[in-house]
Every structure is written in C-alpha cells, then in structure tokens.
Chain A
Amino acid sequence: MSTSPSTLPAAPVSEQTEDHRRMHVVVVGHVDHGKSTFVGRLLNDTDSLPNGKMDQVRRNCAAEGMEFEYAFLLDALIEEQEQNITIDTTRIFFRTKKRAYAIIDAPGHKEFLKNMVTGAASASAALLLIDAHEGVMDQSRRHAFLLSLLGVRQLVVLVNKMDLVDQSEETYRRIVAEYSAFLKSLGLQAAHFIPIAAKHGENVVERSAKMAWWRGPTVTEALDTFTHEDDLTCLPLRLPVSDIYRFDHRRIVAGRVEAGAIRPGEELVFQPGGRRSVAKTFEDWPGPSRDVVGTGGSASVTLTEQIFVERGQIASHATSQPRVGREFRARVFWLGKEPLVPSKTYRLRLLTQNVEAVVAKIEKVTDASTLASVPSDSVPRDSICEIIVRATRPIAFDLHHECPVTGRFALEEGGRIHGGGIILEARSEGGKGSGKVTAAERTARAGHPPAVVWFTGLSGSGKSTVAELVERRLFDAGRNVIRVDGDDLRAGLNRDLGFSAADRAESVRRAAAVAGLHANAGQIALVTLIAPLAADRAKARAALANHPFIEVFVDAPLEVCERRDVKGLYAKARKGEIAEFTGISSPYETPESPEVHVRTDRNTTEQAADQVLQAIDRILAGKGEDWEV
C-alpha cells in the first residue's frame, strides 16, 4: 500500500525515536540491472516525490522526444541522461509507515567504483539488484565483496526485470541458488531474495498479482525489517583526539567518541605515547554539560593534569586500550588511478591519525568477481588485496573484528583517498623474510627510500649549520638520517689527504663512497663538503646514480663567509698560513643547476632548512620504483 507524510498515523510515543532515526540504504548492482529505475519507482509508489516533479520529467522527455523512464527522476544531471548511467551517489529521502529512509542510488558502472564505495560506506543496509534476464554478472559479485569489506551486513537481493522472464519462478530459483552460494563464500547472507519488476512496480510497494507464487515480503516490507547499525556504545571507549582548543583560559581536548562512552572523573590513557590523565569536565555550550558522552557524540574534555596530548592519539580507559604498533595485515580495496605498489610511501589515515606508511608486502590480489587469488607485485585500480602495511611511526588501532571503527583505515596520496582497508591481524615488526635483504625491504622498514643530499659551498657559508637543522628535523620525524661531514672525514678516513687538486678529487670520491654505503643501508645521507670543483661533484653524482641525489648549493658571498670565519681559517689563509684555501687562493666553481639553492646571507637557517626539507619531501613522496639498487 502507498504511504505519504499526510496519511501517516500518529506514532505512539514509544516508537517516536525509531521513527525519527533515518535509515541509510544503498542500492547496488551491475550496470543496467535497473537501480535508478527501481529507486524512481520506489519514490513514486511511496508517494515521496515533490509535487510536479513527475510532470516536469515527463515534459522534458516529451520535449526531447524520449520515452519516459523512472530513472530520469534521479538522473538529474544532463550528462547522466545522455550516457544513461548514474555518475555519482544521489541521496533520496522517503518514508514508509515505519520510518524515514535515505536511499543512496549507487552506480553500477565499473568506472565509478569509488562512488559506490562512498555511498555504501555510509549505509547500514543494502539492496542489490540482479537482472533476472541477464543473471549474475561481474559487478553483482564485486559489489557484494565490497559490501562485506565495508561492513554492510544487512542485505536484500532484488531479482529484477521478472517481466522479461515471464515471472518464471524457476529462473528466480536458479539465481537464488547461484548467488547465495557466492554470498556464503564472502560470509554474507541475504535476508531475502525478492522477485520484482521495478519498471511496473511489482513487489516494490504493491504485491504483484503476476507473481502469486511469491509469498515473501515486498521491498518496503523487507526494508522495514532492517535494524540500525550496531550500537558501539557497549564496546571499550575509543576517543580519537581531533584537536586541542585553547581559545580562552581552558585547554579542551576535542574529539568524537567512536566507540564506548566517556564520563567525567574517568582516567584516560592516550595512545600512542601512553600518557595518562583524568577527564575533569565536559565543556558543552551553551550548557548544561552532559554527564556522559556515548558513541557518535562530539566531546569537549578538560583534564585534571595538563599532559602532552595531540591530534591523532586515541583516548581509552586503562583497562581496555587499543593495540599500538607499526605493522599489520589488512584486506584493502584500491581505487587509485595508479596501482598500489610496495616501495612507495603513502599516508595512512586511521580516524584522526595520519602517518606515512608503506606496503611491506602484497600477499595476494583477489579477483573480486571470481574470488580467485593471484600473486602480484602491484595492485591495480578497483581490486581487492591482502597486504602487510607498515607505518613509519607507531599507531593506535584495533583489529576490525574487535572494534570496526578503529580497525579500518584509508590510504591517501596528496590529500586524495585512494583506498581503504580493514585490519585483520597485528604483526610484530620485521617478520622473517628469505634470501638477500633488498633495498625495497629496507625502504619498507624505514618507511622511506634512502637519499643523498650533498651540501656544497664556501667555508663559512653555513653548510653544517643548515645540515644539522635538516638532520634534526628529519630525525624527529622518524627518518633514518646521518651526516657525512667533510671535517670529520679529514680527521679520520681522509687523514692522508691534503688540499691539492688531486687530493681534493680523492676526498670527494671517498665522501661519495661513504654516502653511498649509508644510502645502501637505507639512510638519508647529508654530505657537507666544500667540493669546489664541478667536475668532482659531477663524478660524485654519477657514482651515486642508484639513489635520489639532491645537490644543495649553500650560497653566501665570500665577504660574508670571511666575516663569519667561525673557525678562523680565512684569517689564517689571508696570512698565507693555509695554502690553496677555497675562495682565497683556490677556485670555487659555482654549481650551475643545483636542486636547491639557499642564500644564507639573506635567509635564516630555518628558511634554508625548510627549502632543503621540501626538496627531500618531494623525493620521498614522489618517486616510484627508481630507487631500486
């Protein structure tokens, strides 16, 4: 029967809450299996269309000489009508007698899988359409796989276009048998398989007279049996920190409770880090403050003790804390245009945590439509895989089956999300491998590729000062970094060398060799060496061709360097006490095209270091496989 807002009976008070909680339902299935038509028909038959909408669409169709289709009601954008495919998720509101719904009309076209994921991730139930005439297709299977990954457990399968198979119960039974076996292999089970003809509204809202053999529910009856997503309030507290506010005298820890509940007076542990404090007050505006904040609530918490807390940490109770580690095994769906590859650095986002991570290993890539697993060294777009993820820093997480919200994550590059995954198993770091340790493995463990950063410039130009700050910043960011300093080398390895052209060349060669060894070990090597001759520097670059190489020209005019004269060398050189001193009695050949050019006479050390760090960041984030040794 048809329902509309105006004919709704007054709901008993006890059902008021249920009635007001809108349920999100995603509609998925293979392209052309009738999703948009179905939703259009559903809206029409539940009397949920705005006045005049139907007439408007009919008029538009007539004006363009097209036959009216229910799908046009939804496909509001011109492009969609031309291509006859739904480009993005649209959200449609309607209600039955029982409650309000938001229908997400997710597209079935393969190209738009990322939109299907976006739609399905916010749904608590799914309707999956299969064309009775065409049968189970590639996307019918792929979408079910994704639903299982996204954690959508409530599913009704609609066997559509029954009018094209003469309402045949036998055809229906065949599809039910085939598809329920597939669902079972994913650990999914459909609540119902409903035979429908969406175009004609059969078994959508009204029971079909042509399918008298069908004794089960109509679509709206089935929808009304869905329950809201599991309430996570009974799970242990998980409160990821979104921010720390200091707008006035208060210091407020802000975040959304993702699982469990929090009350003032409770002791909190912030992971990673493990610092503890007690929740003192909730600072709700305009007040009065709540006495408990449960799952889904945005909390504003002050602490009794002012410990260091930052965005990304997860607050929990001491008795049931999340795991903390850098490595886990995950099942991942990949939507990126570029394949997912080991040796490339991604950003891993888990709630408010955002850290760099690499794929330490691709265990298998699964064909989402056949569930066959194939070994592969990269994961192409729109496929599903199992991988070992290794973060550069420890993160707090749970396994997906323990707590879904802290057991799933997204992978991004350049601010754009390319994939998501659920955590299956925590791993202790450095699992056993076999054979020679490869550069890729070192990169995976370090979380970044190695590099050589070569600082050249006059004595006193500030090479070591800038390099020391760069080293500090990289080290604090969790990078493997080491400085190879010209003066240190001269005190040891190069003790036998003087300042003749030949000795300078040998000194540069040795410094390059030392830097190469460090880079092979996975380090970012910061070399500080005057290296006055372009030819020597070119040889060093060539010798280190296996690694990303950044030449930094630390530039300050001779007068400035001489005025600084930190080591008193210029004074000695001017007096003739040091022979062949670069800039005074020996030439310095200015680099022609250094990767970075810093002016220490005009910029602060911080600015110079920032310039160098940006160049390093580009290398660490940007390059692909070319790091292989």
Chain B
Amino acid sequence: MSRTAQNDHLTRLEQTSMHIFREAFANFRSLCMPWSMGKDSNVLIWLARKAFCGKIPFPLLHIDTTYEFPEMYEFREKARAIHGIDLIVRINEDAIRRGVGYATHDPVTVTHELKTVALKQALAEYKWDALVTGIRRDEDPTRAKERWFSPRTADSTWDYKDQPPEFWGQFASVAPEGGHIRVQPLLEWTELDIWEYIRRENIPNPTLYFSRNGKRFRSLGCHPITHPVESPASNIDEVIEELRRTKVSERAGRAQDHVGRNSMQELRAKGFM
C-alpha cells in the first residue's frame, strides 16, 4: 500500500479515531482508558500510541473481576511491557469479601458489582474527567445510539433520552457536575474492521480468540459466563474469513447480555461500558 493513500477504509477509521483521542486529550484535564485486554481494547492502545506519537500520555485501568482467564493475566503483563503502559489495577474487594461471585449470584449482579461498581470506585478515587472506552455501534442496539463524547452523571448513569447534539467535529466538552465523559474512538468500527486492522498493523492479542479443539472465543469476559463458539478459525486470516460470512452476533457468547430482554440496556444505563 502506498504510504500516501488515505482513502482506504481502515486508514480512514484509524485517522478519525486518532483525532477523537487528540480532541479528548486537549479537552479534558484528566483522562483514563479502561483496558479489558480484549481485541477492541488492544486496538485502542495502538490507536492511542499513533495519536500521541508512540507514548500514551494517560494511565490505563484494568478492572480485575478476578474471573479473568489465566491467559489474560499473562497477556496483561506482556502487553504492559510492549506498550510501556502506566497501569492501574482495581478489584472491588468489598464485593469479593461479601462473597459476590458467579457460584452464588446471577451474571447481571456480578457484572454490575465487579465491573461497574469497581469502575465507580476508581472514578471516585481518581476523579477522571473522561474515560476512553472501546465500544462500537455495531455491538448491540443500545450502543448504536452512542455519541463520540457521551456524558455520564455523577452516579455514572447514561441519559440516552437526552443526549447532546454532535456534529461537524464538535462534541460535548463539559461533564455533568461530578460526572464524566465517555470518549469512544471506535464507535464507527465493526468487528470485522477490528480484525482487519489487527492483521494490517500486527497488533498483539490474546490467543484465546483462535480455535483450539474446534472452538474459539469471539468476545472475552469473565470465564464462568463467557462461552466459546464453534469455529475452526485458528489464525487471523481464518477469523476474518469467518466474520465475513457469519450472521451470529458477536456477544452471543456473553451470558449477562441475555438474561432479560433488556438486560444490556439496564446494565448500560447504570454505567456499564
């Protein structure tokens, strides 16, 4: 590919995401990027390094549910070294002490306690103005309604009924009192875009995404509620080929999305990413 070409689809997405990162950094006093270690999150790290010429000028936050796959903890340390990440790790110790866990509680409760509440605790401690998230509009219908810069109230709720207008590259730049702004550079990307970009840029990712014994993970969360899908795709090329053909939704293997008809909406209105 010519180094001058900017018209290809992935480069357009990349350049736009870099711009979103830069506008966020210019607008907000303190910025943090939650890092799930999943593919979207890893693409975000790559885009941030591109936006800031190699070095990410703000911390990353890993909300450790304690239910991560062992491979993910290994990947965390590896990626941390590769990218030179300033990493904050947070666990909702209080919930763990109270015995909140998948053995005894439903997935929506556990996700809320170990992810959303842990994130709120970190927010209360560090008082970030803005969080960079890796959500995409194609993931599920509630995310389709998101903005590039999306305000959250002090208790992290999302007022999806009264979102600020956003046009011509102008975003909501002031968080509600005590709240924060979610900055979402991957909004226009699709799952296929993510994988094609990972292939083009050779971005490090966990190997759980590739098929072992006829199964692979398409989306990664807590191990008790994240199920692999039937797939022979054992490398990036095969994953991309599979995604071009599939009609099964990406988050089909994520149990907390499917408990009630609107469980995703409930989770997200309460502050879930």
Contacts and interface: CB of A to CB of B under 8 A. Distances in A.
Contacts of B80: none
Contacts of A292: 4
Given A21-B12, A285-B49, A298-B18, A410 B168 contact: yes
A593 interface: no
A165 to B, nearest CB: 33
Contacts of B163: 88, 115, 118
A118 B165 CA distance: 5
A616 to B, nearest CB: 19
A285 B170 contact: no
A78 B25 CA distance: 35
Interface string A140-177: 00000000001000000000000000000000000000
Interface in B124-154: 137-138, 140-142, 144-145, 147
Contacts of A274: none
A36 B31 CA distance: 37
A74 interface: yes
A68 to B, nearest CB: 15
28 contacts: A20-B9, A21-B7, A50-B247, A53-B249, A76-B141, A77-B265, A90-B141, A90-B145, A118-B163, A118-B165, A121-B166, A122-B167, A150-B167, A245-B53, A245-B57, A247-B55, A256-B15, A256-B19, A283-B53, A292-B4, A294-B4, A296-B6, A408-B168, A412-B170, A412-B173, A415-B175, A417-B164, A417-B170
Given A60-B261, A88-B163, A296-B12, A51 B6 contact: no
Contacts of A254: 22, 51
B8 interface: yes
B53 A296 contact: no
Interface in B1-59: 3-4, 6-10, 12, 15-16, 18-19, 22-23, 25-26, 49-55, 57
Given A293-B6, A298-B51, A420-B167, 18 more contacts: A6-B245, A51-B248, A76-B265, A87-B145, A88-B163, A92-B144, A102-B188, A115-B163, A150-B167, A255-B22, A290-B3, A296-B12, A296-B16, A297-B6, A298-B22, A405-B168, A410-B167, A417-B170
A12 interface: no
A117 B173 CA distance: 18
B200 interface: no
Contacts of B160: 77, 87-88
Interface centre among A17, A60, A288 (most CB of B within 10 A): A17
A286 interface: yes
Nearest to B145: A88
Contacts of B137: 91
A250 interface: yes
A242 B26 contact: yes
Contact of B22 (A74, A90, A242, A335): A242
B70 interface: no
Contacts of A409: 168
Contact of B19 (A74, A295, A298, A410): A298
Contacts of B166: 118, 121, 417
B97 interface: no
Interface size class of A (residues with CB under 8 A): 35 or more
A118 B10 CA distance: 23
A294 B51 CA distance: 16
Interface string B202-242: 00000000000000000000000000000000000000000
A411 B168 CA distance: 12
B172 A415 contact: yes
A344 interface: no
B98 interface: no
A291 interface: yes
Contacts of A252: 53
A416 B164 contact: yes
Contacts of B10: 20
Contact of B6 (A4, A118, A294): A294
A290 B145 contact: no
A425 B143 CA distance: 40
A20 B6 CA distance: 13
A448 interface: no
Contacts of A121: 166-168
B44 to A, nearest CB: 15
Nearest to B141: A76
A22 interface: yes
Contacts of B188: 102
B251 to A, nearest CB: 10
A37 to B, nearest CB: 16
B15 A243 contact: no
A93 interface: yes
A53 B6 CA distance: 36
A351 interface: yes
Interface string B156-178: 00001101111111101111000
Contacts of B161: 79, 87-88
Nearest to A295: B6
A93 B165 CA distance: 22
A260 to B, nearest CB: 12
A5 B51 contact: no
Contact of A298 (B15, B164, B244, B245): B15
A256 B175 CA distance: 24
A311 interface: yes
A479 interface: no
B168 A420 contact: yes
B66 interface: no
A416 B174 contact: yes
Given A88-B163, A296-B16, A77 B8 contact: no
B109 interface: no
Contacts of A311: 26
A74 B141 CA distance: 7
A256 B8 CA distance: 17
